[in-house]
Structure 1
Amino acid sequence: MMTRGHEGPEMEIFHLLRAVTVEYGLRQAEFAAGHGMHATDVRALICLLDAERAGIDATAGFLGAGLGLNSAGTTGVVDRLERLGLVSRVRDVKDRRRVLLRVEDRAKELGWSYFGPLIDAAVTVLSGFDERETAAVRLFLTTTLDALTAQDR
């Protein structure tokens, strides 16, 4: 266990991670402002895109839980994104009582036009890593994320 004030290579890596997250947050805020959104709207789009990639049917309740918002706050986010043409509400074909949230292609195109160069740069760097290096990066990020989300419980 490290003591406070320890400045070894582990802390350097942690500080780099923090710098990356701060810079990424700034880019998200710039993207949001440039497209008439709130920062929470960008987080909502990320949450919905992650659900889509995982094959999860996203409802307003799912989104609210992911964002830590109450029902009224979630409705406000979805309404804004819907007005902007970035998200739509669709009836679940398996259960017509349920309404699902779908990210529109327009949102994906906007996101890719802004964040695509960053994603490409990161993927290019990672593609040069060997299997062990990739596994180490994944393990570090996964366990750090687990530590952060454990604080929410």
Structure 2
Amino acid sequence: MEAASGGGRDTDLETVHLLRQVTVELVLAQAEFARRHGMHGTDVRALICLLDAERAGTPATPGLLGAELGLNSAGTTAVIDRLERLGHVERVRDRADRRRVRLRVSAAAVALGESFFGPLIGGTVELLRGMDDTEAAAVRRFLSGVGELARRPAP
């Protein structure tokens, strides 16, 4: 990796450290949200997975959720049961196959998330709107690339 320098500073590593700082802050925000609402960090990750599946038009099943979270069947059931007790997730029978259960994030859970994360999301959107199309595309390309790297198995 060839580092760009500005006044002797390695700006490539500076970017990596900024990304790490943002990651830590986001994890802390997620932990605070979980704490305030009587959830585990895994519960919040589960809600995010379910919302992402809905956005992608993918049927959200316990099997999908377990695979996304890296949990076995018992662990997945425990997460779903906790979220259902809290009123954040609903089990819905599949119309085509009544034996299959779909998972849906409740409207109340969505509103709760929006009330906590809304300012962060809104501020992020405003930052992006302050960029031209080329800059915003570069940010998306960078974050997508880092996401791909993070999903690779550790050596």
Report TM bin, short chain: over 0.9
Output the CA distance in 2 between the equivalents of 1:2 and 1:130: 26
The one-letter code sitting in structure 2 at the alignment partner of 1:91 is R
1:58-97 → structure 2 map (5 Å cutoff): 58-97=60-99
Output the CA distance in 2 between the equivalents of 1:101 and 1:29: 23
The one-letter code sitting in structure 1 at the alignment partner of 2:26 is Y
1:32 aligns with 2:50: no
| % same residue | 61
Out of 104, 117, 120, the residue aligned to residue 118 of structure 1 is 120
Out of 137, 140, 145, the residue aligned to residue 139 of structure 2 is 137
Residue aligning to 2:58: 56
Q: CA deviation at 1:97?
A: 1.6
Output the CA distance in 2 between the equivalents of 1:87 and 1:104: 5
Q: Secondary structure at the match of 2:71?
A: coil
Q: CA deviation at 1:19?
A: 0.7
Q: 1:132 to 1:43 in 2, by over 3 A?
A: same
What are the Cα deviations for residues 40-72 of structure 1, in whole angstroms up to 9, with x where unaligned?
000000010010101010101100111111111
Q: CA deviation at 1:152?
A: 6.2
Output the CA distance in 1 between the equivalents of 2:77 and 2:100: 15
Residue aligning to 2:49: 47
Give the root-mean-square deviation of aligned CA atoms.
Answer: 1.7
Q: TM-score, normalised by structure 2?
A: 0.93
Q: CA deviation at 1:9?
A: 1.0
Output the CA distance in 2 between the equivalents of 1:122 and 1:35: 24
1:4-23 → structure 2 map (5 Å cutoff): 8-23=10-25
Runs of at least 5 residues in structure 1 that lack an aligned partner in the other structure: none
Residue aligning to 2:6: none
What are the Cα deviations for residues 56-115 of structure 1, in whole angstroms up to 9, with x where unaligned?
101011001111111111111000000000001101112222100000000000000000
Q: CA deviation at 1:128?
A: 1.0
Aligned residue pair count: 151
Q: CA deviation at 1:17?
A: 0.8
